[in-house]
Amino acid sequence: MQELEDILIQSDMGMNIVLKISNNIEKKFSKGWPTEKINDFLVEQLMSFYDDPKSKENKINLYKKKLSPILVVGVNGVGKTTSIAKIANFYKEKNYKVLLVAGDTFRAGAVEQLSLWAERLEIEIIKPDKEQQDPASVVYKGLEYGKNNNFDIVLIDTAGRLQNKVNLMKELEKINNIIVKVTNDKPAETLLVIDAITGQNGVIQAETFSEISKISGIVLTKMDGTAKGGVVLAIRDKLNIPVKFIGTGEKLSDISIFDIEEYVYNLTKDLFEPDIQGENDGN
Ligand SMILES: Nc1nc2c(ncn2[C@@H]2O[C@H](COP(=O)(O)OP(=O)(O)OP(=O)(O)O)[C@@H](O)[C@H]2O)c(=O)[nH]1
Ligand SMILES: [Mg+2]
């Protein structure tokens, strides 16, 4: 049991979930430990944190026949800009008309970075006219342009300055107000990007951003590394925010729509397999 708990803890799902699961396992298997059954039960348990994975809120929401603004937020360096490029590519390949908005006017180089992606993707981008321009005004320009030119999706990049929560709050509030004003609706999605490597800290980020803005989904990045990304289960458990996309590398194609079954499979796949490599060490 201890070993199992250790493995679960290492996957970053948080003590709360680990204890719930281990309690349930102990209750269910008080008479014996048939490994395969425990494995199945564990998968079942992990899935249950997602209650209804097929429900509408777990799908990516896009408005029909009108502009769908997707606001992308998150702390520095988690992969917001890269994820925007990937999502843009994902929908471009499905023949959606996609526009980018460089709403991170804070960090030098951020506009340039998104512009490079726009160039590679051969899609249009709305940029600030001058340095350090108010992001809300860039967003306004982007939404107007998107609306008037029949775009389907407008992806909005933002700066992630958690160290300055009041400013960030004001900025996102302003951007949200602009979206409502121009489109008469809330953003189709407000995606919080979480880096799988940050572990349990992701829960704090989700809590903080939820206080600032209604988050409709998570983009979990850097799942190509060793991190298991269990933090999204903790976020789901605590804040009921579903995951929408998974990032698995730095290339445009390294993104997929979140699939709870695949995710849980990856989370548990080497739990009960003997560590052949390890056992052979020193032989
Ligand atoms: N391995 C891997 N690297 C990623 C992934 N997503 C993003 N990155 C890398 O993470 C680094 C930061 O990505 P950005 O997209 O610039 O992150 P950001 O959140 O926009 O950063 P700021 O604009 O500084 O707040 C870059 O080197 C990306 O290539 C991923 O899924 N896997
Ligand atoms: Mg960025």
Q: Is residue 126 part of a domain?
A: yes
Give the closest ligand to the alpha carbon of residue 77: 1
Beta bridge partners of 178: none
Query: For residue 24, what is the enclosing H or E element?
Result: helix 15-28
Contact 125, 111 (CB under 8 A): no
Query: Are 9 and 105 part of one and the same domain?
Result: no
Query: Are 14 and 94 part of one and the same domain?
Result: no
Q: Is residue 280 part of a domain?
A: no
Query: Are 100 and 215 part of one and the same domain?
Result: yes
Q: Is residue 283 part of a domain?
A: no
CATH number of the domain that residue 159 is part of: 3.40.50.300
Distance in Å, CA 75 to ligand 2 centroid: 9
**pLDDT score, position 266:** 87
**E strands present in 42-85:** 68-73
Query: Are 106 and 216 part of one and the same domain?
Result: yes
Query: Are 103 and 209 part of one and the same domain?
Result: yes
Contact 210, 203 (CB under 8 A): no
Segments forming the whole domain that contains residue 25: 2-53+268-274
**pLDDT score, position 269:** 79
Query: Are 108 and 212 part of one and the same domain?
Result: yes
Tokens of 149: 């030119």
Ligand 1 close to Cβ of residue 53 (< 6 A): no
Kindly tell me the burial class for residue 247, based on how many C-beta atoms sit within 10 Å of its own C-beta (0-12, 13-18, 19 or more).
buried
Query: Are 67 and 47 part of one and the same domain?
Result: no
Q: Is residue 226 part of a domain?
A: yes
**Distance separating alpha carbons of residues 150 and 102, to the nearest angstrom:** 19
Query: Are 227 and 89 part of one and the same domain?
Result: yes
Q: Is residue 281 part of a domain?
A: no
**Distance separating alpha carbons of residues 39 and 266, to the nearest angstrom:** 13
Instruction: Using the atom order of ligand 1, give the atom closest to the CA of residue 225.
Output: 1
**pLDDT score, position 132:** 82
Query: Are 140 and 22 part of one and the same domain?
Result: no
Concatenated DSSP letters of 260-280:
HHHHHHHHHTTTSS--HHHHH
Kindly tell me the burial class for residue 159, based on how many C-beta atoms sit within 10 Å of its own C-beta (0-12, 13-18, 19 or more).
buried
Ligand 1 close to Cβ of residue 110 (< 6 A): yes
Q: Is residue 9 part of a domain?
A: yes
pLDDT in 10s for each residue of the chain, 283 residues: 888 888 889 899 999 999 999 999 888 888 777 777 888 888 999 988 887 766 777 889 999 999 999 999 999 999 999 999 999 999 999 999 999 999 998 887 999 999 999 999 999 999 999 888 899 999 999 999 999 999 999 999 999 875 577 888 889 999 999 999 999 999 999 999 999 999 999 999 999 999 989 999 999 999 999 898 999 999 999 999 999 999 999 999 999 999 998 999 888 877 766 554 444 444 4
Distance in Å, CA 123 to ligand 1 centroid: 20
Query: Are 98 and 154 part of one and the same domain?
Result: yes
Instruction: Using the atom order of ligand 1, give the atom closest to the CA of residue 85.
Output: 15
**pLDDT score, position 163:** 57
Q: Please, where are the H alpha helices in 78-200?
A: 80-92, 110-121, 135-148, 165-183
Question: For the chain, what is the domain count?
Answer: 2
Q: Is residue 211 part of a domain?
A: yes
Query: Are 11 and 92 part of one and the same domain?
Result: no
CA distances for 13 relative to 16, 56, 169, 206, angstroms: 8, 24, 27, 14
Supply angle C-alpha 120, 126, 129, rounded to 5.
Answer: 120
Q: Is residue 108 part of a domain?
A: yes
Distance in Å, CA 77 to ligand 1 centroid: 5
Contact 118, 112 (CB under 8 A): no
Query: Are 136 and 76 part of one and the same domain?
Result: yes
**Residue located nearest, by CA, to atom 21 of ligand 1:** 77
Ligand 1 close to Cβ of residue 222 (< 6 A): yes
